[in-house]
Amino acid sequence: MVVGSGPGGLQLSYSLTHLGVPHAVISADPAPGGMFRRWPFFQRLLSWTKPFAPFERGTRFYERYDWNSLIPDDDQHRAIQPRLMDGTSYFPSRIEMEHNIATFARETGIRVRYGCRWTGTSRDGEGFRLRTTAGDYRARVVVFAFGLAEPWKPEIPGIEHVPHYADTRAPETYAGKRVFIIGKEVSAFELANGLLPWARQIVLASPRPTQLSVVTNSLVGVRARYVQPYEDHILGGGVVIMNASIDEVSRSGNLFRVKTTRSDGGGSLMFEADDVIATTGFQPPLGDLPELGVVSSGRERIPSQTPLFESISVRHVYFAGTATRGAAGLKKNGIPSSSGAVHGHRYNARILARHIARTYFGIDPARPTLKRDDVLDYLLSELSRAPELWHQKSYLARSLLMEGARGIVDDGIVPLQLFVDGEGPDGVAVAVEANPKAEIYPAVYVRKNNVVSEHLLPTNPLLDFETAEHRAQLTAVLAPIL
Amino acid sequence: MCDMATTRGELGDKLSSLSLFADLSAAELESIAHIVDERRFGDGERILRQGLTGSGFYIILEGEAIIRIDGKEYGKLGRGDFFGEISVLLGDPPVADIVAAQGLHCAIIPGPELEPFMIGHPQVLFRMLKSEARKLRMATSWRT
């Protein structure tokens, strides 16, 4: 059973189907697209699709430059997103993205029971019984691909007066208003950016200092697309950015008063505003999963998962889509996975499909063998081009295993954590990694006699990892197992 | 079983009960609750890996962590204990595995953010230093 028809649910269904795994997909929505049927509020994504890229459109390597298309196993249905873009931006509009998802579902024949809402879950023998608005389903394995769809607001006195990001009005209705935005993450800056031509004053406040992706050198922080309000603030325009906790919101007629305490010890500040908006995030609609025993972590209540996207506390309950952020991986140098976005979790879904096929249905996905003389070229090419490794740095890896009589087996793209923490035949996993200095470099993990060693290779100004230096270093690193 | 997710307010409360944060005001604790990450680990999952770079600083909120070197267990850490700081501060890979047990739940500061965090919160730094001093005393007492 798969619950959800956003990119996560559809990608998983596609991959399960192509492995021959029987399954059903249900969705409360009337059509595919998930959150992209409604958001982002200002109707344009922050994930790019580059129509003209170093690799030919419609190839696997092109996926590195197309963050938004779903990933088929054949070339025919690759790169749907750039086909649908009008050329005005390399960030697709929301409607172009929704169209992209729907086109993939239609052209690849994904079957979904739309208008069918999951309402409850109980154990049924070794499996589960899912109650839905269209009757009960029984399944051995359940995958929830429900996204982060429930608006969440913190417990602040008076917060009930404050609309959530999800309830933001049309931008022109904020013309000439003083707008107070609770929050300083991406959605706060998206609203502030969109309201720049309308609002008289914009205040953004939350305890945590603003982080910018171009400063953290990662996807952590406000993305470049929405940095304009920050520049407006530092140059003394109409935007105020505050590090402060929100103590109370009160409303008197059309006027809001927001009481804040500065995080730097600077005391209390009271703001008057015509509008207040809480951009405090979303949570997954967990329903009764906590009662089933599914544990979550943090403010966002994302279920805690194993490296293969299974709940750490309830066996046979898995997750796909944005919720796979709960399988955090190694998070080396503090850099998180990209599983919160399509370009990351589309690969997680493919891995999960292989795992389900192998574990529950006895279907062994193809694992080709490799000649010894081809190993170096293959790994260096993957390190330079593989979209899975580039989108999921320090998280997904290409793994080769030395399987005795079979020889050198390509074990496919695997979670890096699974390789470094798991036991098995001697082998190698290669990943692309990054550090806070904005260096991107290859990493090689060699497992011999169940002891894993890490080898970080040098970066390269053109991100070319097929140089003589890389070849020589990889040769030396692989010597103990080849 | 209840949903064990925590709000920022609850996380602030949890941090306030740990000796590491005993000197901080409520406002400072709330600020820290917004800075740190949180994570629950499956029993048996590795958190720090002997010889692998790029780890972070972990503070135990619940559960236990087992210290393991070359596969041999050397001790356990519990609520309020912390680990990973030596590797981050020295820039060297951890010399031990740290493995989750008993429903481990940690607050986490990513490695690159630890130094600014410590400089920005000298009371926490002082508490950490005292803890390190105790560890050093214990280590040297074993030798004598």
The CATH class given to the A2-149+283-361 domain equals: alpha beta
- Asked whether residue A5 carries a pLDDT value surpassing 90, the answer given is yes
**Residues of B in Cβ contact (< 8 Å) with A444:** none
Q: Mark yes or no for CB contact A304/B51 under 8 Å.
A: no
CA distances from B3 to A18, A288, A293, A297, A298 (A): 35, 10, 8, 9, 11
How big is the A-B interface in CB pairs under 8 Å? 108
Can you read off the two tokens belonging to residue A244? 């402060």
pLDDT tens across A130-165, in order? 999 999 999 999 999 999 999 999 889 999 999 999
B73–chain A nearest CA distance, Å? 16
Question: Do the beta carbons of residue A311 and residue A318 sit within 8 Å?
Answer: yes
Q: Mark yes or no for CB contact A312/B40 under 8 Å.
A: yes
Residue A158 forms contact with B (CB below 8 Å): no
At residue A218, what is the residue type?
S
Residues 73 through 132 of chain A touching chain B, CB cutoff 8 Å: none
**Residues of B in Cβ contact (< 8 Å) with A394:** 54
Compare all CA atoms of chain A with the CA of B38 and give the residue at the minimum distance.
Answer: A298
Q: Smallest Cβ distance to A296: which of B4, B8, B30?
A: B4
**Residues of A in Cβ contact (< 8 Å) with B45:** 306, 312, 421
- Asked whether residue B3 carries a pLDDT value surpassing 60, the answer given is no
Cα(A13)–Cα(A143) distance, rounded to whole angstroms? 10
pLDDT band for position A299 (cuts 50, 70, 90): confident
pLDDT at B7: 62
pLDDT at B1: 35
Report which of residues A274 and B34 the model is more confident about.
A274
Residues of B with CB under 8 A from a CB of A: 1-9, 11, 27, 30-31, 33-35, 37-42, 45-46, 49, 51-56, 93, 103, 105, 110-113
Question: Do the beta carbons of residue A60 and residue A80 sit within 8 Å?
Answer: no
Question: Do the beta carbons of residue B35 and residue A208 sit within 8 Å?
Answer: yes
ipTM over 0.95 threshold: no
pLDDT at B2: 36
pLDDT at A266: 79
- Asked whether residue A378 carries a pLDDT value surpassing 60, the answer given is yes
pLDDT band for position B144 (cuts 50, 70, 90): low
Rounded to two decimals, the pTM is: 0.95
Cα(B67)–Cα(B86) distance, rounded to whole angstroms? 14
Average pLDDT along chain B: 89
Instruction: For chain A, give every domain's residue range.
Output: 2-149+283-361, 153-280, 369-478
At residue A282, what is the residue type?
F
pLDDT band for position A283 (cuts 50, 70, 90): very high
Spell out the domains of chain B, with CATH numbers in brackets.
8-137 (2.60.120.10)
Strand bridging mode A127-132 / A255-262: unpaired
Could you check whether the bond before residue A285 is cis, i.e. omega within 30 degrees of 0?
A: no
B131–chain A nearest CA distance, Å? 24
Question: What is the crossing angle of helices A468-478 and A375-385, to 10°?
Answer: 120
- Asked whether residue A78 carries a pLDDT value surpassing 90, the answer given is yes
Q: Mark yes or no for CB contact B7/A299 under 8 Å.
A: yes
**Residues of B in Cβ contact (< 8 Å) with A304:** 39-42
pLDDT at B6: 56
- Asked whether residue B11 carries a pLDDT value surpassing 90, the answer given is no
Give the range among A7-16, A101-110, B133-142 with minimum mean pLDDT. Answer: B133-142
Cα(B112)–Cα(A211) distance, rounded to whole angstroms? 14
Q: Mark yes or no for CB contact B31/A245 under 8 Å.
A: yes
- Asked whether residue B32 carries a pLDDT value surpassing 90, the answer given is no
Q: Mark yes or no for CB contact A207/B31 under 8 Å.
A: yes
Average pLDDT along chain A: 96
Question: Do the beta carbons of residue B47 and residue B58 sit within 8 Å?
Answer: yes
The CATH class given to the A153-280 domain equals: alpha beta
pLDDT tens across B43-96, in order? 999 999 999 999 999 999 999 999 999 989 999 999 999 999 999 999 999 999
Residue from B2, B4, B25 to probe the interface with A (highest A Cβ count within 10 Å): B4
Compare all CA atoms of chain B with the CA of A208 and give the residue at the minimum distance.
Answer: B34
pLDDT tens across A168-201, in order? 999 999 999 999 999 999 999 999 999 999 999 9
- Asked whether residue B5 carries a pLDDT value surpassing 70, the answer given is no
A20–chain B nearest CA distance, Å? 30
**Residues of A in Cβ contact (< 8 Å) with B9:** 154-155
- Asked whether residue B9 carries a pLDDT value surpassing 80, the answer given is no
**Residues of A in Cβ contact (< 8 Å) with B42:** 304, 306, 312-313
- Asked whether residue B25 carries a pLDDT value surpassing 60, the answer given is yes
Fold match between A2-149+283-361 and A153-280? yes
pLDDT above 90 coverage of chain A, percent: 93
**Residues of B in Cβ contact (< 8 Å) with A313:** 1, 42
- Where residue A239 falls (left for φ over 0; alpha for ψ -120 to 50; beta otherwise) is beta
Residue A243 exposure: Cα atoms within 13 Å on the Cβ side: 15
- Asked whether residue A312 carries a pLDDT value surpassing 90, the answer given is yes
Residues 267 through 286 of chain A touching chain B, CB cutoff 8 Å: 286
Report which of residues B8 and B97 the model is more confident about.
B97
A96–chain B nearest CA distance, Å? 34
Compare all CA atoms of chain B with the CA of A209 and give the residue at the minimum distance.
Answer: B35
Q: Mark yes or no for CB contact B42/A306 under 8 Å.
A: yes
pLDDT at A156: 92
Quick one: average pLDDT of B121-128? 93
Q: Mark yes or no for CB contact A296/B3 under 8 Å.
A: yes
| Helix spans in chain B (H) | 8-16, 26-35, 85-90, 111-120, 122-143
- Asked whether residue B4 carries a pLDDT value surpassing 50, the answer given is no
Residue A296 forms contact with B (CB below 8 Å): yes
Report which of residues B9 and A94 the model is more confident about.
A94
**Residues of B in Cβ contact (< 8 Å) with A334:** 56, 110-113
A102, A101, A118, A139: which is closest to A21 by C-alpha?
Answer: A139
Question: Do the beta carbons of residue A194 and residue A169 sit within 8 Å?
Answer: no
SS3 labels along chain A: CEECCCHHHHHHHHHHHHHCCCCCEECCCCCCCHHHHCCCCCCECCCCECCCCCCCCCCCHHHHHECCCCCCCCCCCCCHHHHCCCCCCCCCEHHHHHHHHHHHHHHCCCCCECCCCEEEEEEECCEEEEEECCEEEEECCEEECCCCCEECCCCCCCHHHCCEHHHCCCHHHHCCCEEEEECCCHHHHHHHHHHCCCCCEEEEEECCCCCEHHHHCCCCCECHHHCHHHHHHHCCCCEEEEEEEEEEEEEECCEEEEEEEECCCCCEEEEEECEEEECCCEECCCCCHHHHCCCEECCCCEECECCCCEECCCCCEEECHHHHHHCCCCCHHHCCCCCCCHHHHHHHHHHHHHHHHHHHHCCCCCCCEECHHHHHHHHHHHHHHCHHHHHCCCCEEEEEEECHHHCEEEEEEEEHHHHHHCCCCCEEEEEEEECCCCCEEEEEEEEECCEEEEEECCCCCCCCCCCHHHHHHHHHHHCCCC
- Asked whether residue A235 carries a pLDDT value surpassing 90, the answer given is yes
B68–chain A nearest CA distance, Å? 13
pLDDT band for position A116 (cuts 50, 70, 90): very high
Quote the radius of gyration of chain B (alpha carbons, Å): 15
In the beta sheet, which residues pair with residue A398?
A413, A430
A55–chain B nearest CA distance, Å? 31
Residue A334 forms contact with B (CB below 8 Å): yes
- Asked whether residue B143 carries a pLDDT value surpassing 70, the answer given is no
**Residues of B in Cβ contact (< 8 Å) with A290:** 1-3
Residue indicated by tokens 């955090």: A328
Question: Do the beta carbons of residue A282 and residue A152 sit within 8 Å?
Answer: yes
Quick one: average pLDDT of A58-72? 97
pLDDT at B27: 77
Residue A438 forms contact with B (CB below 8 Å): no
